[in-house]
Amino acid sequence: MRDVETRPKKGEWIIVFTILFASLPLILGFALLVISSFSKDMVTNLSLSSFRPTIENWINVFQGKLAITGGIRQNILKITLNTLVVALGVSGIVTLISTLAGYSLSRMKFRGRKLMMLLLLMLHAFPGVALIVGVYLLYRLTFPQEPSFVRLYSFFYVILARAALEIPMSVWLMKGFFDTIPWELEWSGIIDGASRIKVWRQIMLPLIKPGILAVALFGFLAGWQDLIYVRTFLIDQTLATFIEANIEAEYSHMPLIAAAGTLYLLPTIIFFLTAQQLLLQSYSGGIKG
Amino acid sequence: MKGEKLRNLSFFLSPMIIMVGLFYLIPLVFTVYISFTKMRNWNIERYLTEIVGFYNYQRLFHMFQHDPLMRTVLLTTIIFVGITLIINVFGGLLLALGTFFINESSASAIRLLWLLPRMSPIAVYSLVWYYFFHGSNIGTLNSILMKLGVLSQPVPWGQIVPWGAWGIIIFVNGLVGVSFGMIVFTSALNQIPKELVIAARVDGASAWQISRKILVPMMKWHLLYVLTWQFLSLLTTYPHLFLLVQWDLVSRDYGTTLALYVYNTAFGRGEQDQGLAAAAAVLLSIIGIIGGLVTLKVLQFEKMIHEPRGDIE
């Protein structure tokens, strides 16, 4: 319903064709990566002779065989699991904190509320690189003495630190979702003598489910794709650091890295297909890039 | 009543306040502090208490003036931010306008396609461009151009300084940023009353005339918003650049912006100099804070903050 009724059909094809032509590198690049993951050699030079179909790469990925010769092994399932732990952790923390803070910023009057919201916007614009030196010092100062806790601690820390980066935006997003709920719904609850916390939990949370889902998805993707924080803080490897390290390594078999990359891309694609409307809508809330 | 309200507020707000304190305020203080110490190679035991005053800042300004490498970094930052900003704003505008004039299903497919760079993991995204711009004949761009007969030899694109390296970093980051403009402009376009467009259409206006005379003038606020916001983001973004430089796809000297310089100086290979990195980070934060304040003032963000509803005290 935009200007459908009066729009000439003829011009439409020209626009679609122009945009698709401009998107060609994008389509080509991603398509070649996925195709290479099913080939014996990398298919990057557009010649069909280099495409020799096989699913060996995928089998090797799951078995963790990094090179065809030499028997270098790495447990990719464990690396994927590490990535998943970080992503789910970030998602959980971001969702919890923004559902709490978003409610009070949307519904409660208190001194400093306006200032708090402006500060959150400022924090979102704040250069992450200016923080990371300080975040690392805090990490080192709070490092556990007990060596057996160190790995666990690095997971704990990277999840919290990465989640913190997402909080300003998701609190704003969540506040926006709460703003759309008619307040009569909770008002009746408050009149009946329910506390704010009870109203939040029993009336608001069920109504705000799409918002929670959106924030949780964004949190998951942020944690899933992060490179800099996991590289700096996490002792174990994730898919991001695995790819980072193996591009230059001489023993690595590149189609296998392509398969690992495709595996890494999968959740993004799945979210794309299942939640596209949600993604497009909530992205207009304000993002960084 | 007062006590209960305080209890409620702290229930709702304290987790956020703790996180912001731990991961924004304390690190900021730490960064400023480190910029006054001799910290290097993260040797905390030795250097944490060794205060050197403004020595790191003096060193930084001396490098700005005399070190050719640092001048390259500054020049790269200016070119990178400037050109990518233009691409992001105009690319986003063109995509939003383009998808406005076509049917909804093609439009949403195109929007999803252009969200892919932003949504895909940085490592995968960089891997894609690593092969696309690779300097040998396995590189996709090289092989296309050689098949078309434009080139007879593969060209190491990222090592052609300055414009080859700059071209790649601008291209790769430009694609990520375009989607931001696209989404903001699309939502702005959807808020414009349809009657305006339909009336112009009936009068025989073309898509180009409608865009220029009606749609773009009505999106002034959004243009300004995307411009300032993307400026701040580009100034401080570095993860994509990090991998392109790390993998030697682009020249180290002409692929490093100030933000990446800070990261590599603090955490990179070889000798790390956190004191210097922190000083540069403080400079970046000052620019960021000023830029953020200007954005808030110019765009009057305060108007976005309505009084809360549903409070019955």
Q: In the predicted model, is pLDDT for residue A289 greater than 50?
A: no
**A37: phi then psi, degrees, rounded to nearest 5:** -65, -15
Closest by CA to A122, choosing from B259, B303, B288, is: B288
Assigned token pair, B220: 């002034």
Match 């593969």 to its residue by tokens: B154
| Residue B298, number of CB atoms within 10 A of its CB | 12
Chain A environment of B278 (Cβ under 8 Å):
133-134
In chain A, DSSP finds a helix count (H) and a strand count (E) of: 15, 0
Spatial distance between the Cα atoms of A217 and A238, rounded to a whole number of angstroms = 19
pLDDT band at A279 (very low <50, low <70, confident <90, very high): low
Q: What is the pLDDT of residue A82?
A: 94
pLDDT band at B202 (very low <50, low <70, confident <90, very high): confident
Q: Is the ipTM of this complex over 0.90?
A: no
Check if the beta carbon of residue B239 is closer than 8 Å to that of residue A165: no
Check if the beta carbon of residue A161 is closer than 8 Å to that of residue A229: yes
Q: What is the pLDDT of residue B261?
A: 92
Express each pLDDT in B155-183 by its tens digit.
Answer: 888 888 789 899 999 999 999 989 888 88
Q: In the predicted model, is pLDDT for residue B306 greater than 70?
A: no
Chain B environment of A190 (Cβ under 8 Å):
312
Q: What is the pLDDT of residue A280?
A: 59
Asked if B123 and A257 come within 8 Å (Cβ–Cβ), the reply is no
Number of Cβ pairs < 8 A linking chain A and chain B? 342
Check if the beta carbon of residue A95 is closer than 8 Å to that of residue A219: yes
Give me the residue from B19, B122, B187 closest to A240, CB to CB: B122
Asked if A18 and B98 come within 8 Å (Cβ–Cβ), the reply is yes
pLDDT band at B305 (very low <50, low <70, confident <90, very high): low
Higher pLDDT, A135 or B196: A135
Return all residues near B109 (Cβ < 8 A) that are at least 6 apart: none
Smallest Cα distance from A59 to chain B, Å: 20
Return all residues near B147 (Cβ < 8 A) that are at least 6 apart: A46
Give the SS3 label for residue B271: coil
Chain B environment of A125 (Cβ under 8 Å):
229, 232-233, 288, 291-292, 295
Q: In the predicted model, is pLDDT for residue A288 greater than 80?
A: no
Spatial distance between the Cα atoms of B313 and B311, rounded to a whole number of angstroms = 6
Element (H, E) at B231: helix B220-236
Q: What is the pLDDT of residue A70?
A: 61
Asked if B116 and A30 come within 8 Å (Cβ–Cβ), the reply is yes
Chain B environment of A48 (Cβ under 8 Å):
none
Chain A environment of B98 (Cβ under 8 Å):
15, 18-19
Give me the residue from B15, B44, B110 closest to A19, CB to CB: B110
Q: In the predicted model, is pLDDT for residue A5 greater than 60?
A: no
Q: What is the pLDDT of residue A6?
A: 53
Give, in order, the Cα–Cα distances in Å from A79 to each of A75, A243, B121: 6, 11, 15
- pTM value is 0.87
Assigned token pair, B28: 């900021």
**A154: phi then psi, degrees, rounded to nearest 5:** -65, -35
Q: In the predicted model, is pLDDT for residue A104 greater than 70?
A: yes
Asked if A3 and B124 come within 8 Å (Cβ–Cβ), the reply is no
Closest by CA to A160, choosing from A83, A239, A90, A237, is: A90
Q: What is the pLDDT of residue B233?
A: 87
Match 């964004």 to its residue by tokens: A218
Asked if A247 and B267 come within 8 Å (Cβ–Cβ), the reply is no
Spatial distance between the Cα atoms of A136 and B44, rounded to a whole number of angstroms = 11
Chain A environment of B291 (Cβ under 8 Å):
125
Calculate mean pLDDT across residues A84-103.
Answer: 95
